[in-house]
Amino acid sequence: MSQKISFTRNYSDLSTQRGFQFEFNCDRCGTGYRTHFKPFTLGTVAGALDAAGGLLGGVLARTAGVAERARFAAWEKAHDAAFVEAAEQLRPDFIQCPRCQSWVCREKCWNKTKGLCKNCAPDIGVEMAAAQASRSVEEIWAHSKMTEADREHLKEKSWREGIQAACPDCGAPLEGKPKFCPQCGRKLAQEAFCTACGAKVPPGAKFCGECGNKLTD
């Protein structure tokens, strides 16, 4: 019984009639490892032709059909041997993930700690750095879309002062912090101070929170 040849899907056969060469690639990053070109020697062909000539009485061996078949059989045998040799040569550089069955390179795509490929078990540090960078980019784009007035509103001082959304008299919507209502002309409260002690008081307050002074509109 002939010996079975084990192979994977992550390789390319670069062999020609003159010799054999194979390239194996990582399923994850695509990194490739190529074997050196191995010539298909004429000695192998000569031996195959001699064997064919002995079996066929030496007459048919001189015909083009038999010679070509003998050469092809010799090439196939040498090709199989070269493939087995290449697979064994490059096997230490790859490992198959037990979860997704992908063949990945040990150097870049294998998580030694988890015993899985990095698609199934990513490096936590790398993922955290990527997430932080992505969040920073999102914040930059969000910030670039804001108007100058919007940025002013986000400052701590502006939040503490408060922002009126509508005029208390006519209900007209207000943009920003106007001093007067654009619809009815009502004076809108900006900053109020106690006339007695000078302390800042919130809009609508009737008495000063510092000295108790009665406030007037």
Q: Is the dihedral of CA 165, 168, 172, 177 positive or negative?
A: negative
Q: Which of 84, 87, 90 is nearest to 3 (CA)?
A: 84
Return the number of other C-beta atoms located less than 10 Å from residue 104's C-beta. Answer: 26
Q: Is 87:6 a contact under the CB 8 Å cutoff?
A: yes
Cα 204 from Cα 215, distance rounded (Å) = 9
Q: Is the pLDDT of residue 114 over 90?
A: yes
Range of weakest confidence among 22-31, 156-165, 176-185: 156-165
Q: Over 80: is that where the pLDDT of 47 sits?
A: no
**174 and 181 Cβ atoms separated by less than 8 Å:** yes
Give the CA dihedral 86, 88, 92, 96, nearest 10 degrees.
100
- Give the Cα separation of 48 and 51 in Å (integer): 5
Question: How do residues 58-86 score in pLDDT, each as one tens digit?
Answer: 444 455 566 677 778 889 999 999 999 99
Q: Are 167 and 177 in contact (CB under 8 A)?
A: no
> Taking Cα atoms as reference points, which of 114, 95, 75, 118 lies closest to residue 10?
95
* CA dist 83 → 16, 56, 74, 135 (Å): 13, 30, 14, 48
Residue with tokens 């550089």: 93
Q: What is the per-residue pLDDT for 41?
A: 80
H-helix or E-strand spanning residue 151: helix 148-154
Closest by CA to 70, choosing from 38, 47, 40, 39, is 47
Model pTM score? 0.53
Instruction: Tell me, rounded to whole angstroms, the distance of Cα 145 from its chain centroid.
Output: 26
pLDDT score recorded for residue 173 = 78
